[in-house]
Structure 1
Amino acid sequence: MNQCTAVALLPPPDHLLALAAPGHRPEAGHVLCELGGDHDGRHAAMLWDEGGRPGSAVWVRWKGSGLAQLTPLPWCSALDPRNEACELFTAHPSPHSWDITDPTHTAVTHHLTCQHPHLFPRSRDGSESGRAPGPDPA
């Protein structure tokens, strides 16, 4: 499933504005929803994690063009068959992160594969290895 393409403009918090040097006002930043494209309409993006403790990840949630809210949420406890954790919050309203594809990342990887095939070795079955471009590990 493709990732949701909703974007929100997140203004800098008031405490950052108060601490900013005169003439150097922090700028607003955009956040992209990290959920699958068919979710319930309430978008979410993880902003930071305070060390992996339950409820330590701070997410921004918004709906439509409404006001964004920061909220701490616990991590989803689901594991994929390779024992890798879901990168979303508990009770997220879409598939787990390993079933969500970022269409921009896919398009860029496809373009790079066509332009620089030597950077993307193919496996024996002819599929791409999925390795990011870069030097071979020594």
Structure 2
Amino acid sequence: MNQCTALALLPPPDRLIALAPPGHRPETGHVLCELGTDHDGHHAALLWDEGGRPGSAVWIRWQGSGPARLTQLPWCPARNPRNGTDEACELFAAHPSAHSWDITDPTHTAITHHLTHQHPHLFPQFRDGSGED
């Protein structure tokens, strides 16, 4: 499943603007929703994690062009049963889409596809046809 392509523009916080040197106002940034395309309701993007403690991940949530809000959310407890690495889901608990290991960033896939053909020596895992081409 592809990753949602919704984005939110985030103006810098007022306290950061107040600390900026004259003439060097921080720029507005953007975040891309990290959920799968099948989600409904609010979009979500991880901003930072304060050490992996329960509830220490700070996410931004938004819906449509409405205001975005910061919220601390616990990590999803799910582990990927299909591989032997005990990979944890990289989304928040009770997220409204597939787990992170089932979500593909279409931009990343397109770039990898292009680079694989331009520089095959950098992608030996795809030479035998077992990976994406």
Q: Same fold (TM over 0.5)?
A: yes
What is the aligned-residue RMSD (CA, Å)?
1.6
Off by >4 Å, runs of 4+ in structure 1:
none
Residues 1:60 and 2:60 are matched in the alignment: yes
Cross-structure match for 2:44: 44
Residue 125 of structure 1: how far off its partner (Å)? 5.9
Cross-structure match for 2:74: 74
Cross-structure match for 1:114: 117
Residues 1:91 and 2:89 are matched in the alignment: no
Residue-by-residue CA offset, 1:35-90 (whole Å, 9 max, x unaligned): 00110131000001111011111100000011110111111111112301100000
Report the TM-score when normalising by structure 2. 0.91
CA distance in 2, matches of 1:8, 1:118: 37
Report the TM-score when normalising by structure 1. 0.88
Contact 1:10 1:28 in 2 (8 A): yes
How much identity, in percent, do the aligned residues show? 80
CA distance in 2, matches of 1:45, 1:30: 10
Three-state SS of the structure 2 residue aligned to 1:61 is strand
Contact 2:49 2:57 in 1 (8 A): yes
Question: Aligned partner of 1:94: which letter?
Answer: S
